[in-house]
Amino acid sequence: MKYKLVAIDMDGTLLNSKNEISKKNKEAIKKATDKGAKVVLSTGRIFPSALHYAKYLEIGTPIISCNGAYVAEHDKLNIIYEKPISVEVSKEIMNLAEKKEIYYHFYDDTTFFARRFSETVNNYYKLNEKIDRNERINIRIIDNPIKMMDEEKPLVYKFVFVDDDREKLLEFRKEVSKIDGVEVASSWWNNVEIMNRGVSKGRALLELCNLLSIDRSEVVAIGDNENDISMLKIAGFSIAMGNGEEKVKKIANVVTKTNDESGVGEAIEKFVL
């Protein structure tokens, strides 16, 4: 096979609107792995969430999670790459969010910390019902996250800020981008994501390619949103989803069908197999 590694985003890409993997997507991934290709999930999600879907797909390759801030084997005994945000920078980010009254959540490798109960929190509770007990996501609602950071000093890999007011979110993005040592991205129209400076799916994909001795020219990447652009640029062949952002489609080599039309399975069959 020409391509040895296929990096696939999850939300808006591999998963349909119901957060499910279609039969066509699963079968195409199985065919690719049977032929020797390594399929890697590359997501902004917390590690255990991605692990659940990787096991469903029966792929054993390392997982790129938290937008590339945490890359590890399934058993987490081998952490390939990690770059958390410092406590001081985290507190500065939180202070700005509190001042702007914007909802946020953040996470380390296993714990989902939320400022208050939200739809995302509820979705993770539902996901936990499907996950093996020893691999479930630890969910915590934090009344005073800044105080918690001082006392517990968790390794924060990623922040997510959510607001349906586009202007308010854009203004927040401009201000938080001024904080020294942060990387800013987005995975949906109503969110802003913050990682440590230099963190991206593209950087994580490079680290993984080096580990596996795979050249960039032998990599296919599939994604739909801003946080996928870095890995699409790294890959030898890049594929944008039909439902993807226009700026993603512009930099991709080709555009496949939407996530509700099994665009991933279609792309793998056409360009990988």
**Tens of pLDDT, residue by residue, the chain (273 residues):** 899 999 999 999 999 999 999 999 999 999 999 999 999 999 999 999 999 999 999 999 999 999 999 999 998 888 999 999 999 999 999 999 999 999 999 999 999 999 999 988 999 999 999 888 888 999 999 999 999 999 999 999 999 999 999 999 999 999 999 999 999 999 989 999 999 999 999 999 999 999 999 999 999 999 999 999 999 999 999 999 999 999 999 999 999 999 999 999 999 999 999
Helix (H, G, I), strand (E, B) or coil at 148: helix
Cβ density class 115-134: b for 16+ within 10 Å, e for less: beeeeebeebeebbeebeee
Which of 9, 11, 109, 163 is flagged as catalytic?
9
pLDDT of residue 132: 87
Q: Catalytic: 224?
A: no
User: What pLDDT score was predicted for residue 217?
Assistant: 96
Q: Which amino acid is at 234?
A: I
Please give the Cα distance from 156 to 175 (Å, whole number): 20
Domains of the chain in start order, with CATH, are 5-82+200-272 (3.40.50.1000), 87-196 (3.30.1240.10)
